[in-house]
Amino acid sequence: MAAPRVLLVSADFPPFLSGVGDYADKLAASLHEAGADVTVLTGISTDANDGQRPFRVVRSIASWGLNQRKAILAECRDGYDVVHLQYPGVNYGRGPMINLLPVLLRMSGPSPRKVLTVHDFRVMRRRWRARAAPMIWAVDGLIHVDERDWPSIRAWGIGQTKPRAHIPIAANFEPVAVDSASREQWRSELGFAGDETVIAFFGILYPHKGVGELVDSVRELHRQGRKVRLLVLGDFDRKAPWRAGMEQMLADPLVRWVRGASLEQVSRGLHAADLCALPFHSGASTNRSSMLAALDHGLPVVTTNGPATPPDFEKMFDVRLVPVNDRAALSAAIARLMDDPPPRDRLRNSVLARRRSWATIAAETMAFYERIIDVRCKSRGVA
């Protein structure tokens, strides 16, 4: 197959903070390296890094409402072989345009092949699953990044007769080089003493990420006489009623909050930390990029066993699982890792041994494009 022209559609894209946006950025770069001609379509914004990206970024969509459908459809019809949608995303808004886009492309004449990557389907609220149904019905191929999403998608009676693929994610950035001297320097720059245990949290800040429970656990460990600090590497991606309360909570002297950090700064922070705690309310899963990044840095990880967590997750990843929203269990698990930390080299090497690369993800995605393009050619009688 000749190199396909691919349009990745993602309302969330750097510099906006978003796991889906980071995924789209990494996927676009990897597809370019694999030989695809890649363009990303996103909302109006600016990013000085666009000049360094090896693919085009079109930041032209004023909003993702139905009143913008002509502009969105025109961009999607600019000679592409594949239009690849990333869903969900905060910046699509609450309107139905993105959910109806594959249908509108079909209705408005010959269109490119349409692919949808679904992130976190089974942990969506029921109404958002219902919103995704028209997309899944109308696209030519479906990708899900989490293996356990497929039974939830299938239970809705959608997507069963079309090509699909499970293509897991990888960590969204590579660790920076580190040695003992640079690690001590980064700890000092962040204000941590040599005898303090630093617990890292990395990710976009929401109440459902368990930040409140984590701060309470750090306070409890401090009350027990342990020298412990919390390093929060993250920021908000929206205004919300709960935001002011979380900002006040993160002003605690036991917390070092780094806002607006670059990926290099995040990597330095993870290297400076002693362990990582990610008490997600929905539980750990294979598509948690923040967890994968922590493991890539060799950090012992405490996370939660919730609705999203596959069976035998602790065998898949060398992590400690605790119940959701259980402050006592979280504190106890952190204390055990403080007392008996596993070697970071062992943790990092165990992750690298089974690690997926973005080159692998791009190859699997390209193979999927070829599969759905080949289906169209056969349906038209093209050799």
**Residue with the two structure tokens 């596959």:** 310
Q: Is the pLDDT of residue 378 over 50?
A: no
Average pLDDT, stretch 95-124?
88
Average pLDDT, stretch 357-379?
83
Structure confidence at residue 347 as a pLDDT band (50, 70, 90): low
Over residues 269-323, the pLDDT tens digits come to 999 999 999 999 999 988 888 898 898 898 999 999 998 898 888 877 889 999 9
Average pLDDT, stretch 114-118?
95
What rounded mean pLDDT belongs to the chain? Answer: 89
Q: Of the ranges 37-51, 350-364, 367-381, which one carries the lowest mean pLDDT score?
A: 367-381
- Position 2 scores a pLDDT of 76
Over residues 158-211, the pLDDT tens digits come to 656 789 999 988 887 888 999 999 999 999 999 999 999 999 999 989 999 999
Its pTM stands at: 0.80
Give the helix/strand (H/E) hosting 349.
helix 344-354
For the chain, percent of residues with pLDDT exceeding 90: 63
* Contact (Cβ atoms closer than 8 angstroms) between residue 64 and residue 92: yes
- Position 382 scores a pLDDT of 42
* The pairing of beta strand 141-144 with beta strand 164-166: parallel
Average pLDDT, stretch 112-136?
86
Q: Across the strands, what pairs with 165?
A: 143
Q: Is the pLDDT of residue 351 over 60?
A: no
Q: Could you give the domains of the chain?
A: 5-170+357-379 (3.40.50.2000), 180-354 (3.40.50.2000)
- Position 159 scores a pLDDT of 56
Q: Is the pLDDT of residue 69 over 90?
A: yes
Sheet of 301-305, strands arranged across: 255-258, 228-233, 197-202, 275-278, 301-305, 319-323
Q: Is the pLDDT of residue 383 over 70?
A: no
Over residues 33-62, the pLDDT tens digits come to 999 999 999 999 989 889 999 999 999 999
- Position 129 scores a pLDDT of 81
